Structure 1
Amino acid sequence: MADRKPKAFALDNNTDTTAVSGKSPHVKAEPQVGDRFDDGTIFSGISPDTGKPMYARPVDESLAMQWKEAVRYAARFEGHGKPVGTFRVPTDGELSVLFQNRTKIGGFNETGSVPKGWYWASTLGVDPRDQRFSDGRRGCSYENVYSSVRLICS
């Protein structure tokens, strides 16, 4: 995914629009959290687990899911011009980055309601991890509880 270009920066000659801002047209602009890419994903930050850029889908999956269902769904998901296996449920650390950047990424349910206001992480300890996006509260839920899912890729 090294060839990703934000919509605002993609040009045919592989340069960016920083020339408009007075910078060299041959210097590539770094993506900013919230930048939307041609494939429909949104730059969401750097994974604290891998050190790689993370790209989120622009919307939550339409239905809340149980944890195992969410992980299986992610493994089968194909979209945004990417093959099956590209997207995944974020880890606990990555979910925290999504929470911190939720305003710039957009579209998260911040009502705090159950199940739509809570989001699954792929991290599994004794129980799966989740996080409420109204206030950032983190917890562990039983696998049979329903929560929202926002898939990412890197």
Structure 2
Amino acid sequence: MRSFLILSFSLLYYASPVVAQDCTNPNAAAGAVIYNADHDVFVGCALGLGWVAFHEDTGYVAPPSGPTNCSNIGDTCDDGSIYAGLSPDGNVAMYTTPADAPATYSWNDGTFNYTNLSMADCTNEPPGFAATCQTGEANTAFLVGATGEPDYPFAAAEYCDGLTAHGYSDWYLPAQDELDVLYTNKNTGDLNGTFNETGSFPAGYYWSSSESTDFNGRAQRISDGNYDDMDKNEGLAVRCVRK
């Protein structure tokens, strides 16, 4: 039988949907249960929703269940997405679309108004030293929210963030090391043959959401796995992922 630590706090805080698994005010992990004495109600930390009250009028909708019938890397799931492998930031199942984005995208808005973003640079090959080499979901959220930067919008990240496909809308632009998972498994199962390795210049390169310098983002060529710092205004292929 699983037990929960039950606490009391004086102010009910409803968090907006978040990417992280933890709740705030007070801080707790998904699955935690506390008692709100002010409102005489138990609330639970729901994955992706924050604190949710346990009564009929919460508006709570359970997050959709994960893809099914794709237990092996490279399998096509019932929803049409493909099991791509395990993420480098926690060995969580990571899924991708069965095809690239329909066009190439720049990392930034396609201009020379380069931004030195306040995200740690990813400057070495996998496994990258910086967390931003692994955390594509957080990277994408950061880029989508960087509305005040002179080269906003960050087109590749914006595309994945706005994608709704296979019943999900939580797609993101993979970080460098997550993109490397796609390369490592590219010839596995139904992933085989889905990547555009001979497209327009620069042929076969895919954007990651990892920044390397003021002027460059990290990219990988799927044909041979080569990594490179590519100019942010270069149009490259994009493949979105989700966990």
TM-score, scaled relative to structure 2 = 0.50
Q: Following superposition of structure 1 onto structure 2, how do residues 85-124 of structure 1 map, counting pairs within 5 Å?
A: 86-104=170-188, 105-106=191-192, 107-111=194-198, 114-124=201-211
Q: Which residue of 2 aligns with 1:55?
A: 95
User: Cα 1:3–1:150, aligned 2, differ >3 Å: closer, same or farther?
Assistant: closer
User: Cα 1:48–1:77, aligned 2, differ >3 Å: closer, same or farther?
Assistant: same
> Where does the alignment leave 5 or more consecutive residues of structure 1 unmatched?
8-30
Task: Name whichever structure is richer in helix by fraction.
Answer: 1
The list of structure 1 runs, each at least 4 consecutive aligned residues, that deviate by more than 4 angstroms after superposition, is none
- CA displacement at 1:49 relative to structure 2: 2.0
Corresponding residue SS for 1:6: coil
Provide, for residues 79-102 of structure 1, a one-character-per-residue CA deviation record: whole Å limited to 9, x for no partner.
11113xx00111100111100111
Q: Which residue of 2 aligns with 1:70?
A: 156
Q: Identity percentage over the alignment?
A: 35
- Considering only aligned residues, what root-mean-square deviation do their CA atoms show, in Å? 1.7
> Where does the alignment leave 5 or more consecutive residues of structure 2 unmatched?
1-63, 108-153
The structure with higher relative contact order (CA 8 Å, sep 6+) is 1
Provide, for residues 92-138 of structure 1, a one-character-per-residue CA deviation record: whole Å limited to 9, x for no partner.
00111100111121311223752451101111121210011111110
Q: For 2:238, which of 124, 127, 149 is the aligned residue? A: 149
Provide, for residues 12-39 of structure 1, a one-character-per-residue CA deviation record: whole Å limited to 9, x for no partner.
xxxxxxxxxxxxxxxxxxx111111111
- CA displacement at 1:142 relative to structure 2: 1.2
TM-score, scaled relative to structure 1 = 0.77
- For 1:145 and 1:97, locate their aligned partners in 2 and report how far apart those are by CA, in whole Å: 23
- The answer to whether the 8 A contact 1:112-1:134 is kept is no
- For 1:2 and 1:116, locate their aligned partners in 2 and report how far apart those are by CA, in whole Å: 36
Q: Which residue of 1 aligns with 2:69?
A: 6
Provide, for residues 22-66 of structure 1, a one-character-per-residue CA deviation record: whole Å limited to 9, x for no partner.
xxxxxxxxx111111111100010011232110000000110110
Larger radius of gyration: 2
Q: Which residue of 1 aligns with 2:168?
A: 82
